[in-house]
Structure 1
């Protein structure tokens, strides 16, 4: 399931930035459509949310905003509204002394919803990795810090890959630390998900998927919805269109060919479903994705 989350997140634009917080008040991140994380590199601060108690953060702590919830980082506990809003963009780190230093990574969606798997998580998650136990996590963060600090050829592709790897590591750590991650270890549900992921072009229905799961239709529907967060056919539609969005972004395949690959009989049917899901026509989505990639590079 984590692999599918990464594939769906790749539909968005992505980026990273090293921030040296000079303003002693801190900084506020408004709500956005997407997912992201902060890694505290130096100093100490507090995670501020609209309706929960502040959480102290120390170097090495990671904050995951699973679905773009508003939050802030501050030197002392204070209301979120009092923090100055972060100025978005690829600005270089501030020189000189700072209150604290952190690394940001984000997937920002221009169209469509955040993947259901991430929306099912708590709005904000804090993990404190044991870097001696997971030295690869430290290495990935150091590599991302280097790439985020300077513009070099291939930076866009490198940052994208590092973000993918770090997000997987964060979700694994959270899975190890907390049972709140959506369950996917039911063998019947896992079997149905695998078939959907591997063969989205197949004309699936509830009866066929419940047979693969080895469950009566009613029990299968109940368990699938409880564990995945939505009914089978809604998940199937989202997965098909998510794969379609990736093919639009990553290939030059004609719309008719993409439609067939993901289970739509005609280009017209695919275009209508895509527009309903993402709020934009496939052709425009493809052009926008190309423009974003060019800017990132």
Structure 2
């Protein structure tokens, strides 16, 4: 059991109850920070938001994309149309979440998805006057990389029903986002991203409360390892050290981690380091060598090679592309 303290640079641990308490605390923090890690990953994309109003007979199909998106129903009633022909009634206060950008549609009535016209991508403001259906769309589009692993544990499209306890908070967030997208103001890119983050956090929390934990967080040993990875991407992680954090043998740890998370431990470590690097490239002007060290790479060249394999471009080009997209 000394491996847990070795992984964190602490002294020898002698009593098992202490180890269990430490691991339980790490599992709790993993549950808390999992949504934060998801938001951190999607923030490497470009934020978009738009308010739309519809009246009469209407429908729109939203094609698949790489990223995460949502619709918040502000007023009226309508229908969500899924890829398999499923339909779900929508009302004011409902949130439609597309965790990894799956194709779906919205309509005034249940209709086949293929019969719906493609949603216009223009940023036209909503028409003035009353409407039958009023909603706010938001998304992060990932031009490079892919959505967070844990979003794959969610259904293609999720309807999070109106929550009376959270309605005041959701109304405030949507009002702020609507105001932000209706006028081009200084700092709009930063405020839009922050508001998208908060609405996504609200939706993911509500889904988690209704549906239970993600498999990785439900397993306290794997959750402890995840918390350690998320908390310290710069650490010199190995399977041996992570299995020590989890209090398991290497073989059992690799098997259970891969089953819960969807990829082996060190592949997940690499992916998380590069997600953190992409966020730093987008949000800071730190030199590439400094970013490399902050995410666990000893040299800028090793970091650059790993980043190119994950995102398809060099870190400097990724930063330049993000600057142009703002």
TM exceeding 0.5 = yes
Superposed, 1:1-297 pairs within 5 Å as: 1-22=34-55, 24-132=57-165, 135-179=168-212, 181-293=214-326
Does the CA-based 8 Å contact 1:201-1:260 persist in structure 2?
A: yes
- Given that 2:216 and 2:223 are in contact with CA atoms closer than 8 Å, whether structure 1 keeps it comes out as no
Q: Distance in 2 between matches of 1:130 and 1:96?
A: 27
* Residues 113-141 of structure 1: CA deviation (Å, up to 9, x unaligned): 11111122111010113234553223222
Post-superposition offset of 1:146: 2.2
Flag the structure with higher helix content: 2
Secondary structure of residue in 2 paired with 1:43: strand
Find the aligned partners of 2:292 and 2:142 in 1 and give their Cα distance.
22
Structure 1 residues 227 and 265: CA distance shift in structure 2, 3 A: same
Aligned residue number for residue 23 of structure 2: none
CA contact (8 A) 2:224 2:245 kept: yes
Q: Distance in 1 between matches of 2:174 and 2:285?
A: 33
TM-score normalised according to structure 2 size: 0.85
CA distance in 1: counterparts of 2:53 and 2:65, whole angstroms: 22
Matched-pair contact (CA < 8 Å) for 2:277–2:291 = yes
> Structure 1 CA distance, aligned partners of 2:42 and 2:152?
12
Measure the CA separation in 2 of the matches of 1:119 and 1:102.
25
- What are the superposed Cα offsets for residues 158-185 of structure 1, whole Å, 9 maximum, x if unpaired? 2211111111111111111113734414
C-alpha distance in 1 between matches for 2:54 and 2:157: 20
Length, aligned pairs only: 293
Q: Does the Cα contact within 8 Å between 1:38 and 1:63 map onto a contact in 2?
A: yes
Partner in structure 1 of residue 8 of structure 2 = none
Separation in 2, partners of 1:253, 1:14: 22
Work out which of the two has the higher radius of gyration on C-alpha atoms and give 1 or 2.
Answer: 2
Cα deviations by residue, 1:187-212 (Å, 9 ceiling, x for unpaired): 32222122212221222111110011
Which ranges in structure 1 are unaligned for 5 or more consecutive residues? none
Query: Separation in 1 of the partners of 2:306 and 2:135?
Result: 40
- SS at 1:44 equivalent: strand
Q: Which runs of 5+ in 2 are unaligned?
A: 1-33
Say which SS state the counterpart of residue 169 (structure 2) adopts: helix
Question: C-alpha displacement at 1:37, in angstroms?
Answer: 0.3
- Taking the aligned partners of 2:290 and 2:187, their CA distance within structure 1 comes to 30
Secondary structure at the aligned position of 2:50 is classed as strand
What do the CA deviations read for 1:10-36 (whole angstroms, capped 9, x no partner)? 111102110012462311111111101
Seen in structure 2, the aligned counterparts of structure 1 residues 231 and 45 have a Cα distance that, compared at 3 Å, is: same
- Tell me, what secondary structure is at the counterpart of 1:184? helix
Structure-2 separation of matches of 1:176 and 1:199: 27
CA distance in 2, matches of 1:28, 1:284: 33
Contact kept? 2:73, 2:94, Cα under 8 Å: yes
Shift of 1:95: 2.6
CA RMSD of aligned residues (A): 1.7
